Structure 1
Amino acid sequence: MSELVIRGVVAAMVDGDTSEPAPGRVWIRDDVIVAVTGPNKTVPGFAQATVVDVGKRYVLPGFIDMHNHLAYNALPLWSEPGRTEPWLHNKHWPDATTYTESITEPAWVYAKACPEALLAYVQLRAMAGGATAVQGWPTANRGYQTVMRNVDAEQVDTGRDDLIYTSVVTKTGDALATAVRRMGDGAGFIYHCAEGRQTSRVLRDYTDLENAEGLLPTLIAIHCCAVDAQNWAKWAAQDAGGVVWSPLSNLVLYAQTTLIDHARAQGVRICLGSDWGPSGTKNLLGEMKVAKLVAKQLGYNITDRDIVEMVTTNAGVLLERCWHRPIGQLVEGAFADITVLRGRGTGSAWKRIVAATERDVSLVVIDGVPRYGDAALMHDATAQPTFAMTLAGRKRAVALPDPANPAAAWSWSAIKNTLDTVQQDPQTAINTAQARAAAGPRFADDAALELFLDMPDTRRAGRAGPPKNPATVTIPPVPSLIHDTAFFNQLDRCPIHGGVLSPIRNQF
């Protein structure tokens, strides 16, 4: 049994509570929050607990990234050369001339040749932005362990893997009816829905759901940027579920984004997702800033606190409907997922939290285990084992296990060198991937790990598969873990958003 107490300025993010962050303590036993108290109150049974004093830093529920495609996050931003017109919808741009060579093939090589290093990189990148839980993990030929919470597969000690269903593929007919029936039985459904420009054909994803009586409290619809005001009004308030908003990706691809005010008017809870490397932000800290910028430009009545709720409370309330255990709120019985941030700038606590960058992420605790943070705080939290690295100008300690020896920490140099080796010589990496797959039964419990891509490639009959000509595969250098000049320069070269997103550069 482990016990951890975090003392700082607590922003509990309890649903419906509008109080300001205040000095306090969060009391954790194993993977559960036992209590949240003021700074001077004690809780019985914690006499031997490790106490971490984070001073005036903010102690928040762990950030929840509700939309991603993690297998693609070792790739940089992408735009089709010469194209300035918005894509119509998510079934349009996979036909782009450079899509397969720029996205599918490089991602496939990483997923097959070095899946362990890829998983380590994407988790570190997400934690560097304060996330403790992510949706959008790749499926695989066998099970694999993660240090971050896997929204798609969380069992909550039930032994069941059907608490939430996810789908990138559009559902129709019997498949849609099955999804609606499962929601009626209490399961969550995280569904790519109506991703594209308003009036485009993908609006039917949403209207089909409405006609099938599938606009329900356990529906978590991703994007819905094609849904117009009239159709938002069809989601009855008593059945309001959630929508995941990824404004940077929407604007980079479609020059439009979700009508958030119309969704909120129906009681639909808005969450944020950083989406994927080819058209998304690096992490939730980036997406929060994009949300604030876009909300201001479109005249949405969204406050800084609202944005913080989009990565904590809102996602937590939706997931609790399926998991029947609190998350995204610092309350008794909740998952012990904690994000500690320095505030940046001046103004309200909420403004300073939204303004935080990767440099300000001080500590990330997942399931009661310190996984990432400032070296001094990780030391105080007795995090073991860890590797050291410098990220965003600060010395960090990271607790990511070595897949070859789970009792030891994997080093950042080993992770990065593995990815770089694949990037620099994809032809040898493809041969390595083939050898891994041929080493024994592919789907045995002890088989070499293979990850499967979840995004379509219409030029390959709908499936993202191996390169047709391995000799021509090229892979761009692995991007940095944080928002940097290279990211913003590439964002400026993405013409479809028309410069709307360029001011984000000045917020990092």
Structure 2
Amino acid sequence: MPPVDSRNGPRFALRGRIVTMDGQDAVLRDGVLYINGGRIDHVLPASAPPPADYVDVTPVETAGTAYPGLIELHNHLPYDILQLWRVPRRFANRSQWGSGPNPDYRRLVTGPMRILGEDPESMPAVARYVEAKALINGTTTSQGIALFSNSGSRRMYRGIVRNVEATDDPELPEAKTRIADVEAADARRFLARLQQPHRLLLHLAEGTDDRARVHFRALEFEPGKWAITENLVGIHCTPLTAEDFQIMVEHGGSMVWSPLSNLLLYGKTADVAAAKAAGTLLGLGSDWSVSGSKGLLGEMKAAQLTSAAGGAVFTDRELISMATRNAAKILRWNQSIGSLSPGFHADIVIVRGQDGDPYTSLVAARDTDISLVVINGVARYGMTAIMEELTSDTTRLERLTDHVLADRALNLHHPDADPAVGDLTLADATQRLTDALADIPLLASRVEKTRIARRTEPTPTWRLALDEIAPTGSELRPRLPLPHSSLPSGPVISTVEPAVSSLHPLTLDAITASTDTEFLDTLEAESNLPDSFGARLRDLLT
């Protein structure tokens, strides 16, 4: 399947305020993006004559501000159908909330996902729903959805949103988010893995106590020798000290920050002031809907509040950089993605309005302010009127009926659609998941029958390969042994499957935050967040 779309994409132009996020931080108050074949050909002031090959093209008036598409460096996408968890207490490390002592995790997360991931009706609906959710929240690149078949083969779902793990584009080197378990447990094998030509986006030091920090310190496998290279991208890094960040930077490592998830689970996030002082290259990730934002648009607001509480650590421009050019640099995509520059892939997000600070405008934007999302030169989501102007065959548009997004449309058509999802609409996916979650016990019995049939099924049957639900031979994090010990570092994750009798009906998580009262109420009531943080974040989201 070609990368997102073929390069035979349409030729068009978009007019509005343009925030390029290029090396000079150029902002065109009234500019035009000229796009052809999935690329940005020119970025010019609207007063300039059109290029010779665009004299017959009338720019589409967006009445908005254009930014590079948002690049998410951490998400467990399939889980984004689940609602925000009311975290019952403050945890000190990852083992405490994802293992045996926490039956709620199995009942609310691993139990339902095991069932949905194996159900032939629900699995494609999950893939469609969570990708549309990312798109509607302005994300143009995220981590992928892994699929596993009864024949033992494994592959990545290929959809509309770019996938850092499967790009099929030599300009966009593929990153990895999992490593073999034997590489995770042996320092020299892990270091050899880091020396291969792939970025590794791996969980690192999740929590606030010594046990969490030891996960990082175990990377020093001999005195002064660290299993860290420029290919290690540490996700979370919540307990790291200024000294630790200095070590990371000296060895070329970078970091992905997920502040809301950290605060919800641990009451604390990474010392980003120390990370910034050390020169750490930072990206951003919303983690997952169970303990995070619905997308990067919300996560930037959580990052802004956290930055302000720490003494204005980051400007709004720096926060946007984490989701655009910094993220692209971490991935080694910064010559093709992350800026609105000539020759770059046309990944674009546009929000309504052209007034005020150009950087604050995006950080402050609500989900209802997004008027257009373009991926590789194809309009994928936006105001219906704009989508109709930019779509040659408007019968392919799915006009949304949700009252919040009633004037929006999606274009989920791909000429080489992944057969796992095909032409499934967001509306159909929503209905399937709503029904499935409402009667999880009944669905569980149906899935058990499917499991039995799958053992003798001659044709491949695909299911979701979910993170940390069952042993798969791969790991999301290094597990190097502690000094003078054979015990591995890192969290212990339970893979015990809950009894069907412990499962209860659930509600599908809403796609947008601005009018999701249940999400907003839960967020405001979360006990681990700093005083008034939930209420202030609620105000920013609505």
TM-score bin (small chain): 0.7 to 0.9
Assess if the C-alpha contact under 8 Å between 2:17 and 2:29 holds in 1.
yes
Query: Following superposition of structure 1 onto structure 2, how do residues 384-423 of structure 1 map, counting pairs within 5 Å?
Result: 384=393, 385-391=396-402, 392-401=404-413, 410-423=424-437
Q: Deviations over 1:465-503 (max 9, x none)?
A: 7x4432442241102111122112112332122443331
Distance 1:210 1:59 in 2: 44
Residue of structure 1 in register with 2:537 after alignment:
504
Greater CA drift, 59-68 or 46-55: 46-55
User: Are 1:111 and 2:117 counterparts?
Assistant: yes
Distance 1:201 1:170 in 2: 20
Distance 1:169 1:506, change over 3 A: farther
Counterpart amino acid of residue 336 in structure 1? A
Query: Following superposition of structure 1 onto structure 2, how do residues 170-189 of structure 1 map, counting pairs within 5 Å?
Result: 175-189=186-200
Local SS of the residue matching 1:496: coil
- CA shift for structure 1 position 139: 4.0
Assess if the C-alpha contact under 8 Å between 1:100 and 1:457 holds in 2.
no
Greater CA drift, 182-191 or 366-375: 182-191
Residue of structure 1 in register with 2:68 after alignment:
61
1:491 to 518, 523, 526: 523
Distance 1:157 1:19, change over 3 A: closer
Assess if the C-alpha contact under 8 Å between 1:426 and 1:474 holds in 2.
yes
Residue of structure 1 in register with 2:211 after alignment:
201
Residue of structure 2 in register with 1:447 after alignment:
460
Counterpart amino acid of residue 139 in structure 2? A
Distance 1:53 1:256, change over 3 A: same
Give the TM-score taking structure 2 as reference length. Answer: 0.82
Q: Name the count of aligned residue pairs.
A: 492
Distance 2:213 2:194 in 1: 21
Residue of structure 1 in register with 2:290 after alignment:
278
User: Are 1:76 and 2:80 counterparts?
Assistant: no
2:247 to 206, 225, 234: 234
Distance 1:388 1:490, change over 3 A: same
Assess if the C-alpha contact under 8 Å between 2:141 and 2:163 holds in 1.
yes
Residue of structure 2 in register with 1:92 after alignment:
96
- CA shift for structure 1 position 136: 5.0
Assess if the C-alpha contact under 8 Å between 1:13 and 1:313 holds in 2.
yes
- CA shift for structure 1 position 450: 0.3
Residue of structure 1 in register with 2:483 after alignment:
none
Residue of structure 2 in register with 1:364 after alignment:
373
Residue of structure 1 in register with 2:323 after alignment:
311
Residue of structure 2 in register with 1:332 after alignment:
342
Over aligned residues, Cα RMSD in angstroms? 3.0
Q: Deviations over 1:446-471 (max 9, x none)?
A: 6332002103579xx94647x44324
Give the TM-score taking structure 1 as reference length. Answer: 0.88
Assess if the C-alpha contact under 8 Å between 2:438 and 2:505 holds in 1.
yes
Counterpart amino acid of residue 473 in structure 1? L
Structure 2 residue ranges without an equivalent (≥5): 1-7, 472-491
Assess if the C-alpha contact under 8 Å between 1:383 and 1:399 holds in 2.
no
Local SS of the residue matching 1:6: strand
Distance 1:234 1:145, change over 3 A: closer
User: Are 1:425 and 2:439 counterparts?
Assistant: yes
Assess if the C-alpha contact under 8 Å between 2:20 and 2:27 holds in 1.
no
Counterpart amino acid of residue 443 in structure 2? A
Assess if the C-alpha contact under 8 Å between 1:51 and 1:380 holds in 2.
no
Residue of structure 1 in register with 2:230 after alignment:
217
Query: Following superposition of structure 1 onto structure 2, how do residues 248-327 of structure 1 map, counting pairs within 5 Å?
Result: 248-320=260-332, 325-327=335-337
Counterpart amino acid of residue 348 in structure 2? I
1:481 to 497, 508, 511: 511
Local SS of the residue matching 1:234: helix
- CA shift for structure 1 position 245: 0.8
Structure 1 residue ranges without an equivalent (≥5): none
- CA shift for structure 1 position 291: 0.5
Local SS of the residue matching 2:327: helix
Greater CA drift, 402-411 or 162-171: 402-411
- CA shift for structure 1 position 355: 0.5
Greater CA drift, 128-137 or 99-108: 128-137
Residue of structure 1 in register with 2:479 after alignment:
none
2:38 to 26, 31, 44: 31
Distance 1:179 1:324, change over 3 A: farther
